[in-house]
Structure 1
Amino acid sequence: MALVLLAFGLPGVKAAPHDVPVGVAGPQAAVSQITGTLDQAQPGAFEVEAYADEAALTAAIRDREVYGGIVASPSGPTVLTASAASPVVAQTLTAMATGMAQQSGARPAVRDVVPLPQEDPRGAGLGASMLPLVIGAIAPALVLARFGARRRVTLAAASVYAVVAGLTFAAIVHFWFGSLNGSYLAEAAVMTATIAAGLFALLGLHRVLGMAGFGLGAAALVLLGNPLSGASSAPEFLAAPWQQIGQAMPPGAGSQVLRSVAFFDGAGATQGWIVLAVWALAGLALLALPARKQS
């Protein structure tokens, strides 16, 4: 239980921005000044990219190249955010820009380029959906593993379950919670893939290593995958190597793909899809191996 407390509490307590990609647009002198101020205020917190104008920065936000940014103009700075990408980053960037503008007495204008739905302006539903997806992979894997059916039957049952669970979870988060506003079927496909990645991997581990392999895989998903997913904040709020570990596991990859599909027309989802595919294929490969002999 102490391990569980550490796994779930430590990432939240110690969360801080690390190389969060943001943009700055405007004249070169203003861009250099804002970049220097950001680096001085929070060293290592932001990875700043320069853009020619507000339109270019806005396009980069919609393509998930950056989380947001600051536009420098003679009338004062404008903060561009994307709360759908991360409300925590949006708040952090706005607070930083407000602190910088106080020196000149001007309050920056704030524009949310890709906002969260009005029904869930804090994105709580999306962040809370990752743990049920993890449990949704572990519980049926345990049942199927203990049932001891033939490989084809197990694989068919797991596939049907993943689809039904994905459709059900997506319906709750999309229609009931109002936390997503993309294509329902695309969101269901992401949740199905996330569940299937963990489910197939656990079944494969059980086939070659028995309950020890299943327990190890389940512990990794619960104690590493879920708390390191960055679903409630952003992956960049975890220090290395925890950020990389979290995004290499189904909950972290699934949460980022879900954001991309629900709010950004799928932009920036390639890496997450690859991670989910690797986990699912690895599980299928293990299922193709001879079963572990029972002692």
Structure 2
Amino acid sequence: MDLKKLIGGRQFWSLIAVLLILFGVLLIVGHPKEEASPAPLPPPEDDVKVLVLNYHMVNSMFISLAIEPGDFDWQMKYLVDHGYHSISPDELYDFLAGKGTLPDRPVLITFDDGYEDNYTNAYPILKKYNLKATIFVVTGFLSKRKGYLTWDQLREMEQNGITIESHTVTHAPLPELSDDRIREELVESKRQAEAELGHPIEFIAYPTGVHDLHIVGIAQEAGYKGGFTVKYGNVDRSSNVYAMERVPVFRTAATNVDFVDRLRYTSNITQFGWTRN
């Protein structure tokens, strides 16, 4: 049957037009326009991520733990130029406990062991950029071993934004020690530093970052209110205050490029989860 001949040419094309209009209406009704997604809410204060940098030496020794003074200067300038604000362990602790606030882009700059170059090389650069820092010292080495800080140097630095905390007495790996030796390392280093510096020592950096729940319990008994590991990551309110994360900084073939890479969390250490507790 030829529908066009049956109803006439003009009526046929009118019918087609009406059908097309009806089909378009059905499409619109059957597929309503999706509403635009609402703008994301600003992150709550609890989402603040705190960068804790972990250095050791600042000198020209060609080893991974030694950052060239020129590179350290470049890195500190980078932090300042990109809006980072240095904080102390107490400021970090108060934030985690819900008792304080932090500046934009907070960074806690830490050094382990207590090498003399922290005073001769790093300290002038930190003062140059008006940055706070924290040194976790091995108390049994201070004022005794060549290449390590003296208590007089530490007292001077504490007058200019540097915080001193504990890294045990001898840097012995704590899990390998008896309970009595663990207590001696934690309690005696705290006692020595408090006697020399005249203020409470309340934070511990575990030697090589190694710790367990038993060691944490002894640290709590000794009077520490927080501890730092070498587990790679940022600190936030979900962190264990006795096992806080840090971002280690090493000498590499491209030290400053790798430094920026670590700040941005594109390092393979993060991508593949190569972390050490």
Q: TM-score with structure 1 length normalisation?
A: 0.26
More helix by share: 1
More strand by share: 2
Q: TM-score with structure 2 length normalisation?
A: 0.27
